[in-house]
Amino acid sequence: MRMYFAPMEGITDAIFRQVFQARFGGIDKYFMPFVSPSSSLSYTVRQDFELSPEQNRGLFAVPQILARDPLCFLGAARGFADSGYPEVNLNLGCPSGTVTGKGKGSAMLKDPDALRRFLDQVYGNTPLPVSIKTRIGFDEPEEWEKLLPVFSTYPIHELIIHPRTRSQIYRGTPWYHAFEQALAALKCPLVYNGDLFTAKRVQEVQDAYPHIRGLMLGRGLLSNPAVLREVEGGAPLTKEDLISFHDDLFRAYWNTWHPLTAVGRMHVFLKYFAHSLDVPFKYVREALRANKPEEYLDAAGEMFARAAIAENPRYVQPE
C-alpha cells in the first residue's frame, strides 16, 4: 500500500520535504500545500521557489491547486505540465473561512451540480492526471450520498478522502462509514486520510481496507516522523531521531531563509515534536519564546536535554 505525506500549508514546504526524505524517507508521494492561482497565473517569489522542479528533485511531489474557476485550474495545471510534473491535485477539503468564503476548497462540496460543471471542464481539458483531496461534506455527513455520484462520473486519478465534514474541521472522529460507502460506490483508486497517529493505527487501517491505493498521513508524521519506519518493522522513534531531524531542519532553513523566519518555522515543528516528548512544558515554552537563533538553539537544546521520548510517541488531538 502506498504512503503519502499530506499537504500542510506553512509546514510541509520544499525544504521540509527534502529533509524528511533524507532522514526518514518511506514516502511514495509528497502532496504540496495548495496554491491558489490568480487569473493572471503569476506566483510570488516564495511560491516559484516552492514549485520549482529543482527544489523538489528526487521526490515525487504533487502540486495542489485551490480554484473554483476551471480556467484558473487548467491554466495552473498547464504550467505544472510544462514544468514536468506528472500529476496535479485538486483541493476540495480546505476548511479555512478565508478559503470557503471565496467559494473554494470544501465550499465546493455545498453544490453538487456546480461541482459537476467545474469537474466537466477540468476533466474535459486537463493536460495531466488530476487527483482530488476531499472531505465528505460541508455541514453534514449525509451530503456524501449526493457527492458520491458526482465523483463516480470522472476519471479521478486518485481520490483522497478525509472523512470529516468542513464543520468538524479536525474535531471528532472520522466517519469511517463514509469511507466504506466510497469503497462500495467508486471505481477510482482511493486513499484514506485522517488521524493515523501510530504504527498500530496505520496497521489497523491497512488491515481494514487492504485493497485501497494508499494512506495519507499529516500530523502523525510531524509528531512521530518514524511511524512508517515502525510499520515496516524498523525501530520506533527515539529522542536522537527527533534531535537529528530538528538540527537538519534548522540548518536547512537557516541556510535558505532569514534567521527570524527560520526560527519561526522551527517553533511550528517544535509544537508537533513536543507531543512525542516527555518534558515539563516550561522547557517547550522557553524554546517557543526564543526568537533569536542563538537563544532558540540554547532553549531547544535545554528542552531536548530535559526530555525523554514519550512512552507512546504520537500526535495527541486536542479535546
Ligand X SMILES: Cc1cc2nc3c(=O)[nH]c(=O)nc-3n(C[C@H](O)[C@H](O)[C@H](O)COP(=O)(O)O)c2cc1C
- Which residues lie near ligand X (CB under 6 A)? 6-9, 11, 33-34, 64, 91, 93-94, 133, 162, 193-196, 217-220
Q: Nearer to ligand X by C-beta: 158 or 195?
A: 195
Distance CA 150, CA 115 (A): 8
* Least distance (Å) between residue 301 CB and ligand X: 26
The nearest distance, CB 229 to ligand X, in angstroms, is 17
Hey, which bits of the chain come out as E strands?
2-5, 29-31, 61-62, 64-65, 88-92, 130-134, 159-161, 190-193, 214-217, 277-278, 308-309
As measured in angstroms, the least distance from the Cβ of 153 to ligand X is: 22
Report how far Cα 143 is from the mean position of its chain's Cα atoms: 24
The minimum distance between CB 199 and ligand X, in angstroms, equals 14
CB nearer to ligand X: pick between 10 and 210: 10
Q: Which helix (H) or strand (E) holds 262?
A: helix 259-274
Based on CB atoms, which residue is closest to ligand X, 192 or 245? 192
Nearer to ligand X, 6 or 59 (CB): 6
CB of 170 to ligand X, least distance (A): 6
Report in angstroms how near the CB of residue 139 gets to ligand X at its nearest. Answer: 18
Which position's Cβ is nearest ligand X? 218
Q: Which is nearer to ligand X, 138 or 283 (CB)?
A: 138
Find residue 29's DSSP bridge partners: 4
Query: Residue 126 or 223: which CB sits closer to ligand X?
Result: 223
Look-up of cell digits 537563544? 295
d(CA 107, CA 97): 9
Residue showing cell 518514524: 226
CA distance 210 to 213: 9
* DSSP structure class, residue 72: H
